[in-house]
């Protein structure tokens, strides 16, 4: 079977052409080499890889996310290892990172990422602002292992800590960022997210429980003029702005993602 024939087989089995290519490249140990595959698709697929390729295609076809099958997802230009212990970082979250980078913060700002998962936000911030003192918290010890391994692989020094939001942290921060769970229990979108950790997704009847907890905890832990910036659901901006106002923050505002949706909201400590 040539590589071209393997891809045709996968497409006949129902896979998207791009997914078939990426799975094949992953098995061939050339995960980022799409151009190579175009130029060499007349080569034979090594016989010992035929069954593993078909097995990966079947898992993809049954709905398992591509990133879990390849074990990798790019976020803000960083290659992150991911598996079922963590939410797969989404491009939407780059809006939050970009906003954080645009803020007028001290050059050695103390920054914390709450609910870090794979470490995506914390690592992107540390990569872009090496002088920031970046910490990251997650309630899941499993998730923290993934985040820590990503930090080590990328050579980015983040202080990782297990805990519930700000409860186990010390001191004050110039910036608190979070992409907490914000899907309402029973939301129809959950069916499509069945492979990802449910503890990373849902937050009470309206999806606002974790956003509310963070807004309640943050003011005590923000330095003067410090910022709290939160990602939330596409229809939660107004509710989150109300939580930020209630927390006594100023300059409360939202940011739109590339699709024009208010995706993040934040405010500043007086």
Measured CA distances, 149 to 82, 145, 158, 163, 195 (Å): 10, 6, 11, 18, 21
- The reply on whether position 87 binds ligand SAM by CB under 6 A is yes
- The reply on whether position 89 binds ligand SAM by CB under 6 A is yes
| Residue closer to ligand SAM (CB basis): 56 or 228 | 228
Question: What is the C-alpha separation between 70 and 213, in angstroms, rounded?
Answer: 35
Question: What is the C-alpha separation between 26 and 197, in angstroms, rounded?
Answer: 24
Name the DSSP letter for residue 165: T
Binding mask 31-70 for ligand SAM (x = CB under 6 A): ----------------------------------------
The minimum distance between CB 5 and ligand SAM, in angstroms, equals 37
Binding mask 138-157 for ligand SAM (x = CB under 6 A): xxx--x--------------
Tokens at 193, concatenated: 């997210």
The minimum distance between CB 80 and ligand SAM, in angstroms, equals 9
- The reply on whether position 116 binds ligand SAM by CB under 6 A is yes
Question: What is the C-alpha separation between 30 and 36, in angstroms, rounded?
Answer: 9
The minimum distance between CB 200 and ligand SAM, in angstroms, equals 4
The minimum distance between CB 145 and ligand SAM, in angstroms, equals 12
Question: What is the C-alpha separation between 129 and 63, in angstroms, rounded?
Answer: 37
Burial 111-133 (b: 16+ CB within 10 A, else e): bbbbbbbbbbbbbbbbbebeebb
- The reply on whether position 164 binds ligand SAM by CB under 6 A is yes
Question: What is the C-alpha separation between 135 and 145, in angstroms, rounded?
Answer: 14
- The reply on whether position 181 binds ligand SAM by CB under 6 A is yes
The minimum distance between CB 137 and ligand SAM, in angstroms, equals 5
Other beta carbons within 10 angstroms of residue 146's beta carbon come to 22
State which of positions 190-209 bind ligand SAM (CB under 6 A): 199-200
Binding site for ligand SAM (CB under 6 A): 87, 89, 93, 114-118, 120-121, 137-140, 143, 164-165, 179-181, 199-200, 210
């Amino acid at each position: 079977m040539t590589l071209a024939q393997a891809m045709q087989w996968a497409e006949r089995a129902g896979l998207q052409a791009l997914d078939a290519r990426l799975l094949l490249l992953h098995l061939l140990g050339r995960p980022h080499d799409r151009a190579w595959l175009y130029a060499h698709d007349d080569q034979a697929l090594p016989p010992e890889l035929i069954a593993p390729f078909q097995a990966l295609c079947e898992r993809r076809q049954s709905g398992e996310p591509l990133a879990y099958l390849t074990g990798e997802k790019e976020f803000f230009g960083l290659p992150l290892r991911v598996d079922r212990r963590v939410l797969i970082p989404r491009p939407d979250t780059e809006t939050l990172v970009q906003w954080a980078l645009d803020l007028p913060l001290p050059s050695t700002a103390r920054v914390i990422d709450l609910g870090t998962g794979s470490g995506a936000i914390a690592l992107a911030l540390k990569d872009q602002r090496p002088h920031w003192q970046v910490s990251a918290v997650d309630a899941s010890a499993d998730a923290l292992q993934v985040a820590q391994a990503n930090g080590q692989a990328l050579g980015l020094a983040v202080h990782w800590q297990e805990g519930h939001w700000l409860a186990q942290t010390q001191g004050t921060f110039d910036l608190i960022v979070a992409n907490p769970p914000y899907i309402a229990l029973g939301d129809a979108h959950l069916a499509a997210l069945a492979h990802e950790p449910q503890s990373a997704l849902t937050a009470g009847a309206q999806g606002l429980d974790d956003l509310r907890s963070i807004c309640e905890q943050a003011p005590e832990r923000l330095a003067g003029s410090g910022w709290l910036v939160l990602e939330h659901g596409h229809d939660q901006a107004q509710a989150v702005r109300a939580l930020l106002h209630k927390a006594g923050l100023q300059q409360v505002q939202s940011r739109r993602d590339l699709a024009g949706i208010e995706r993040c909201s934040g405010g500043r400590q007086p």
